[in-house]
Chains A and B, each alone.
Chain A
Amino acid sequence: MPPRPTSPLLLLALSAVLAGCAQPQLTPPCLTPSCPTPPVSGNETEPNDNAAAANALAIDRPLKGRIAGQPRDMDLFKFDAEAGARLKLTVISVGADPQSTLDPYVEVLLPDGFTVLEHDDDSGAELDSELRFNVVTAGTYFVAVTSFRIHDDERAADDRATNTYQLALARR
């Protein structure tokens, strides 16, 4: 895909620098359910099983991932957010790949990498996860994606190679 003129991460960094000044110019958020999904910008990179090894996740840059390759896989991502950001996180499985066997379960963690800020199992279509949340304190937050089965059962392996998903973070 063609390079984007300004990366959202850079914008976020800018927004931190400019805190207290005018809001940076951002694409207006799409608020209807039929918003076009931006093209997938890449894949998760294993290992990303803990906060220290989290992959970067950017707004409007969806990533493809897989809960597989090892028993009890957990994929971690991180993103920077400014205070007051209104965000939406989605994890879709069969909607992105009809063959997917994943029932996703997602958490947003505070910058400590441990405390759960938000969690969701099935709020999206069918078994998909969807979280709408707002950021109160600026910082680096984490997203943990796994399967419902792994979340629900402390020893479930659930490492089927077909456990694919697509993760997207958007402004609301």
Chain B
Amino acid sequence: MRRPLGLAVLGLTALLTACGPGHNAPTPATGTGSKLPSSLAASNDRWFVELASDPGALTAQGLGAQQATFRAQATASGIDYAELASYHTLFNGFAVRASPAELGRLSRLPGVMGVYPVRQISPPRILNTTLNAQALSPDVMSALEMTGADIAQSQFGLSGKGIRVGIIDTGLDLGHPAFRDRVVAGYDFVGDSYDASKPGSVPVPDPSPDDCQGNGTNVAGVVGGHDPAGGFVGVAPAVSLGIYKVFGCQGTTDSATLLTAMERAQADGMQVLNISLGVPFQWPQYPTARAASRLVKRGMVVSAAAGDSGQAGPYSVGAPALGENVLAVASVENTRLQLGNFTLTPGGEVIGFKPVYPSPAAPVGLNLPVGKLPGSTPSTDNDGCSIDGLSPYTPGSLNGLATLIRLGNCPPRQKVLNAQDAGASAVVFYNYQPGFAAVGVGSVNPFDTAPIRIPVVSVRAEDGARMDTRIAAGVRLNVNAQPRTFDNPSGNTVSRFSALGASPDLELKPDVAAPGGNIRTTTLLKSNPGGYVVLSGTGLAAPQVAGIAALLLEARPGLTAHDVSTLLLNNAAPRLSLDSSLAPVQQQGAGLVNVPAAIGTPVTAIPAKLSLGASQTFGPRSKVIVLKNSSTTPQVFMATHVPAQSLDSTGNATQPQSATLSINGQNLGSGLSVTVPAGGETDLNMLFTPPRSPSQGQYGGYISLDSASGGRMVIPYNGFVGNYQALSVLNDVSFDGGRTFKNLPALYDPKTFEFYPEGLALATPPIYTLKKVEVFDDNGQKITVLDAPQLLIHFGHQARRLTLDVLNAGGTSLGTVFTQNYIGRSATDIYTDVSSDAFSFVGWDGTLANGQTVPAGTYQLRLNVLKALGNPDVATDTETYTSQKFLVN
């Protein structure tokens, strides 16, 4: 229906330029539908079905009876579904397989509370494999220094001994020397051959959680690996581990299996649970998030990866990290990097490089003269790019040279192939902005099969510029054998991939940050005999916090799970973005966790974070923070206000027009002295006046409490600028890379795989028989589909509730046939392939609320979507779509 603002402006431009001949007329258009791949609808078929009662309120018999009743009713009503799993302690209900059309009837069975899509979960993305070969040396352990875990180990003697930490992931390499004799519980919920992305793949549980994929072993190393011979120490090197394997050796798992594993971790008495997995763009009410939050209320600290979807815009934090009590962990870049390197001669400077994949490794001792495109400089913006389809290099001009090329303007792959064709023996890329570039040279086009035969590496912008100045006088590079440690140019900054909050109910997420960029950890021995790799992701930041929670529980045994969260947030240190501004709170929460400060502080600040909501709803807003002092001496702080970067409506960080803040009626100015009496408490009465920009964006910052002894506590706050209800939900989707957009929602025909965008006038209405029919899919295979109407819906933002009504020929509603609560947003509004997650399906099987099938005739479907935090009594808080008329016959 509507698009995000930026795209709407583009759409307007298109309309304004549509004056000359050859442009399409604006809608309403008359025409035929567009086709989708046949496999798309079939992949949207797994759901959680939640039954009425909280499992904690029922006996096992009561729960079993309720679930048995559901099964009997579903069978009696002839619904075509398959049960995939059932749950008993954290969630009352099932995971099932059913078509979107059958789901409506399933959701209307007595006792059913709600349905949620089961999402596939990929193992944590490995964002950086550059350092595998160099990962043997122990001196890239700076992650422990960054959080003070090294001091907790060496000065406080903490190791996590006696604390039980559960890890839900791909298992653990049980033969790895870093974990000997410390696995006290574990289970494999799926078996090695399971892959949720393969139709028909069935979990085959077994008792041994031995890792055959690697990610779980990566995570466990950070939590508590200990291998003196290998020079490796994790955060809590003596913890007891519970290992819960939810992946096979390849492919994906799903949130249904994750929920099963969470129930098991609780039963095994885990005190801390790490979940480096998640479903992005969700709600705190998503089943895994709610279940994780309940675990915290029952006493378990849960640390979960915020997610790696930072480039996919705001509100991208995943479930279970979104759970109200769960610690959602963002990623900060490691301060030091161990890199391959080469020496320049003459001169002798040593320059660190990252290999660029896929290309052959730069062999030790490789010694080449350095060259470049004549005339290129460190300000050339299209260095090495083809011009009018032709290489800029003269054939043979780069024979035997290591070719220096500045990144930018065209795909790096094009630059490498041009240089290779001109005879280059290697390519050295340099960045066009500070830091190392995230660069790859793989083919993205099935028709582009040219092999890259020469080594390709990338260096920092300043190193490239230095090499550029030396080429004229003649300079050679020589690849050294030993990796060296370099300062990471982006060290201590928030990782760009780290997901952005807030939650859709505008609560501040993520909660804290931890080192997750370029982290050295354990890996499968069979994939790397050395046993160690360097990787990146929030999936490696979460286990830092899980390990730190174990250290805190060891140091202060009486702490509750809530206390652990409060201490970690209160004593975190906000970090910068790459541009040296304070990174948005929506990307780092309270900031980088600090173990010694959390252990040593006598003062707590509650609540530990402040969510100020939408400025149009509240205007100026007051909040009260209670400072409690458990020591026998008064504690004195200087309170100051520290604004962080804002996020615009699409998630770009901008310089803040900051909120203004007064405390106890006084403007802060250069600070306000606050005294917390010995053994007593003090209220901070804060009054925030929100900023007016960025419109539809998010603002945030910190109240900083600095003590005379040099300690610093922080309380982060966040808010939304303007009218939150103005964010549109039912947006459009592009099928051509963003050039044009189809007006969604759309009516879909499962037997022709065609959809009819909103507003498209149809010459003849689609006809649905409501019967199963056999059709041929795109591969010529015969498949059976239910010939019933479905809708394609793109969710531009999370939605509170979706209701689907059926209208008769006269436009009168025959009642609601499907309701869904807490709907996640779509990942993208640009569809590229069946994995895009650009829209969801909702269907109707032809029955009404009374179970009766409608008679033959003309009908329409009407969709009402209540927005996040929307008031059902306020009409503008709901968006509505009505489909084209169709025939049931």
Instruction: Say yes or no: is B52 at the interface (Cβ < 8 Å to chain A).
Output: yes
Q: Which residue of B lies closest to A154 (CB)?
A: B113
Taking CB atoms, residues of chain A closer than 8 Å to B683 are 86, 132, 172
Instruction: Say yes or no: is B815 at the interface (Cβ < 8 Å to chain A).
Output: no
Instruction: Say yes or no: is B626 at the interface (Cβ < 8 Å to chain A).
Output: yes
Instruction: Say yes or no: is B803 at the interface (Cβ < 8 Å to chain A).
Output: no
Complex CA gap A135/B683 in Å reads: 15
Taking CB atoms, residues of chain B closer than 8 Å to A136 are 618-622, 687
Q: Which residue of A lies closest to B870 (CB)?
A: A114
A:117-158 near B, CB below 8 Å? 117, 121-123, 132-137, 148-149, 152-158
Q: Are A134 and B622 neighbours in the complex by a CB distance under 8 Å?
A: yes
Contact among A110, A117, A154 with B114 in the assembled complex (CB-CB below 8 Å) = A154
Q: Which residue of B lies closest to A33 (CB)?
A: B681
Complex CA gap A34/B57 in Å reads: 34
Q: Which residue of A lies closest to B52 (CB)?
A: A155
Instruction: Say yes or no: is B294 at the interface (Cβ < 8 Å to chain A).
Output: yes
Knowing A134-B622, A134-B624, A136-B621, the reply to whether A122 touches B297 (Cβ < 8 A) is yes
Taking CB atoms, residues of chain B closer than 8 Å to A33 are 681
Taking CB atoms, residues of chain B closer than 8 Å to A121 are 297
Contact among B53, B290, B871 with A114 in the assembled complex (CB-CB below 8 Å) = B871
Q: From residue A159, how far is it (CB to closest CB) to chain B in Å?
A: 10
Q: From residue B875, how far is it (CB to closest CB) to chain A in Å?
A: 14
Q: Are B621 and A149 neighbours in the complex by a CB distance under 8 Å?
A: no
Instruction: Say yes or no: is A70 at the interface (Cβ < 8 Å to chain B).
Output: no
Q: From residue A85, how far is it (CB to closest CB) to chain B in Å?
A: 10
Instruction: Say yes or no: is B887 at the interface (Cβ < 8 Å to chain A).
Output: no
Complex CA gap A114/B869 in Å reads: 10
Contact with A along B677-692 (1 / 0, CB 8 A): 0001101010100000
Q: From residue A2, how far is it (CB to closest CB) to chain B in Å?
A: 32
Q: Are B57 and A156 neighbours in the complex by a CB distance under 8 Å?
A: yes
Q: Are B873 and A123 neighbours in the complex by a CB distance under 8 Å?
A: no
Q: Are A152 and B294 neighbours in the complex by a CB distance under 8 Å?
A: yes
Q: Are A149 and B622 neighbours in the complex by a CB distance under 8 Å?
A: no
Complex CA gap A154/B871 in Å reads: 17
Taking CB atoms, residues of chain A closer than 8 Å to B114 are 154
Taking CB atoms, residues of chain A closer than 8 Å to B621 are 136
Q: Are A133 and B622 neighbours in the complex by a CB distance under 8 Å?
A: yes
Q: Which of B290, B606, B685, B873 has the most CB of A within 10 A?
A: B685
Q: Are A149 and B56 neighbours in the complex by a CB distance under 8 Å?
A: yes
Contact among A134, A135, A155, A158 with B113 in the assembled complex (CB-CB below 8 Å) = A155
Instruction: Say yes or no: is B657 at the interface (Cβ < 8 Å to chain A).
Output: no
Complex CA gap A28/B619 in Å reads: 29
Instruction: Say yes or no: is A43 at the interface (Cβ < 8 Å to chain B).
Output: no
Contact with A along B33-58 (1 / 0, CB 8 A): 00000000000000000011110110
Taking CB atoms, residues of chain B closer than 8 Å to A149 are 54, 56-57
Instruction: Say yes or no: is A7 at the interface (Cβ < 8 Å to chain B).
Output: no
Taking CB atoms, residues of chain B closer than 8 Å to A132 are 624, 626, 683
Contact among A134, A137, A153 with B53 in the assembled complex (CB-CB below 8 Å) = A153
Q: Are B624 and A115 neighbours in the complex by a CB distance under 8 Å?
A: no
Instruction: Say yes or no: is B821 at the interface (Cβ < 8 Å to chain A).
Output: yes
Instruction: Say yes or no: is B631 at the interface (Cβ < 8 Å to chain A).
Output: no
B:277-314 near A, CB below 8 Å? 290, 294, 297
Q: Are A122 and B622 neighbours in the complex by a CB distance under 8 Å?
A: no
Contact residue range for chain B? Answer: 20 to 34
Q: Which of A122, A123, A148, A152 has the most CB of B within 10 A?
A: A152
Complex CA gap A149/B619 in Å reads: 32
Q: From residue B114, how far is it (CB to closest CB) to chain A in Å?
A: 7
Taking CB atoms, residues of chain B closer than 8 Å to A114 are 871, 873
Q: From residue B87, how far is it (CB to closest CB) to chain A in Å?
A: 13
Q: From residue A7, how far is it (CB to closest CB) to chain B in Å?
A: 26
Complex CA gap A140/B289 in Å reads: 34
Complex CA gap A168/B294 in Å reads: 27
Number of interface residues of A (CB under 8 A): 27
Contact among B562, B617, B681, B685 with A134 in the assembled complex (CB-CB below 8 Å) = B685
Q: Are A115 and B606 neighbours in the complex by a CB distance under 8 Å?
A: no
Q: From residue A100, how far is it (CB to closest CB) to chain B in Å?
A: 16
Q: Which residue of A lies closest to B53 (CB)?
A: A156
Complex CA gap A145/B646 in Å reads: 35
Contact among A112, A135, A148, A157 with B622 in the assembled complex (CB-CB below 8 Å) = A135
Complex CA gap A149/B92 in Å reads: 13
Q: From residue B90, how far is it (CB to closest CB) to chain A in Å?
A: 11
Q: Are A122 and B562 neighbours in the complex by a CB distance under 8 Å?
A: yes
Q: Are A152 and B620 neighbours in the complex by a CB distance under 8 Å?
A: no
Q: From residue B840, how far is it (CB to closest CB) to chain A in Å?
A: 21
Q: From residue A26, how far is it (CB to closest CB) to chain B in Å?
A: 17
Q: Are B685 and A156 neighbours in the complex by a CB distance under 8 Å?
A: no
Complex CA gap A156/B624 in Å reads: 32
Q: From residue A170, how far is it (CB to closest CB) to chain B in Å?
A: 13
Taking CB atoms, residues of chain A closer than 8 Å to B54 are 149, 152-153, 156, 158
Q: From residue B508, how far is it (CB to closest CB) to chain A in Å?
A: 14
Contact among B53, B562, B685, B821 with A157 in the assembled complex (CB-CB below 8 Å) = B53
Complex CA gap A156/B290 in Å reads: 14
Q: Which residue of B lies closest to A134 (CB)?
A: B622
Taking CB atoms, residues of chain A closer than 8 Å to B624 are 86, 132-134, 172
Complex CA gap A137/B626 in Å reads: 22
Q: From residue A116, how far is it (CB to closest CB) to chain B in Å?
A: 9
Q: Are B606 and A123 neighbours in the complex by a CB distance under 8 Å?
A: yes
Complex CA gap A135/B685 in Å reads: 11
Contact with B along A60-88 (1 / 0, CB 8 A): 00000000000000000000000000100
Taking CB atoms, residues of chain B closer than 8 Å to A157 are 52-53, 57
Q: From residue A123, how far is it (CB to closest CB) to chain B in Å?
A: 7
Complex CA gap A157/B113 in Å reads: 12
Complex CA gap A122/B607 in Å reads: 11
Complex CA gap A161/B135 in Å reads: 62
B:533-564 near A, CB below 8 Å? 562
B:607-632 near A, CB below 8 Å? 607, 617-624, 626
Taking CB atoms, residues of chain B closer than 8 Å to A86 are 624, 683, 685
Complex CA gap A152/B91 in Å reads: 11
Taking CB atoms, residues of chain B closer than 8 Å to A117 are 618
Contact with A along B434-452 (1 / 0, CB 8 A): 0000000000000000000
Interface positions of B (Cβ within 8 A of A): 51-54, 56-57, 113-114, 290, 294, 297, 562, 606-607, 617-624, 626, 680-681, 683, 685, 687, 821, 871, 873
Q: Which 4 A-B pairs have the closest CB atoms?
A: A134-B622, A132-B624, A155-B52, A155-B113
Residue contacts A-B, CB under 8 angstroms, 30 given:
A33-B681, A86-B685, A114-B873, A115-B618, A122-B297, A122-B562, A132-B626, A132-B683, A133-B622, A133-B623, A134-B622, A134-B685, A135-B622, A136-B618, A136-B619, A136-B620, A136-B621, A136-B687, A137-B619, A148-B297, A149-B54, A153-B53, A153-B54, A154-B113, A154-B821, A156-B54, A157-B53, A157-B57, A158-B57, A172-B683
Interface positions of A (Cβ within 8 A of B): 32-33, 86, 110, 112, 114-115, 117, 121-123, 132-137, 148-149, 152-158, 172
* 12 further contact pairs, Cβ within 8 A, besides A123-B607, A149-B54: A86-B624, A86-B683, A115-B617, A122-B297, A133-B623, A133-B624, A136-B687, A149-B56, A152-B290, A155-B51, A155-B52, A172-B683
